[in-house]
């Protein structure tokens, strides 16, 4: 299976180093201080990065900005670029990859679970 890159690097509407981006980033992290991906797995990890969920750096709508820890943000960015990623396991030995067959059984019927 070929991996398709969804990563679209380009000039952003609000440059990442600008004061405007720093204010928006601070607002997102203040509203949601924990990593959204870790929280979905029952982990409490402080969010340090803000991700454009649709990979469009021009879409700075609050609904498109997700707080993530640096590790989760790096993994998501790599996946968006079409790279293979290894997520490993949590402290209980449960795979962190949401698509791992052990995690698919946890999904409710109709959401792709078994």
d(CA 101, CA 81): 23
User: Does pTM top 0.75 for this prediction?
Assistant: no
Residue-by-residue pLDDT tens, the chain, 114 positions? 556 666 565 678 888 889 999 999 999 999 999 999 989 888 899 999 999 999 888 899 999 999 999 988 988 988 888 887 777 777 788 777 776 777 765 555 554 444
How many CB atoms lie under 10 A from the CB of residue 32?
17
């Amino acid at each position: 299976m070929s991996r398709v890159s969804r990563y679209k690097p380009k000039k952003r509407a609000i440059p990442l180093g600008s004061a405007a981006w720093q204010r928006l980033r601070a607002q997102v992290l203040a509203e949601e201080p924990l990593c959204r991906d870790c929280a979905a797995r029952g982990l409490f990890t402080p969010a340090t990065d803000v991700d454009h969920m649709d990979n469009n750096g021009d879409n700075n709508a609050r609904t498109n900005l997700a707080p993530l820890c640096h590790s989760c943000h790096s993994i998501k960015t790599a996946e968006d670029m079409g790279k293979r990623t290894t997520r490993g396991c949590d402290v209980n030995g449960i795979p962190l990859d949401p698509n791992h067959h052990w995690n698919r059984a946890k999904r409710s019927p109709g959401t792709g679970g078994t």
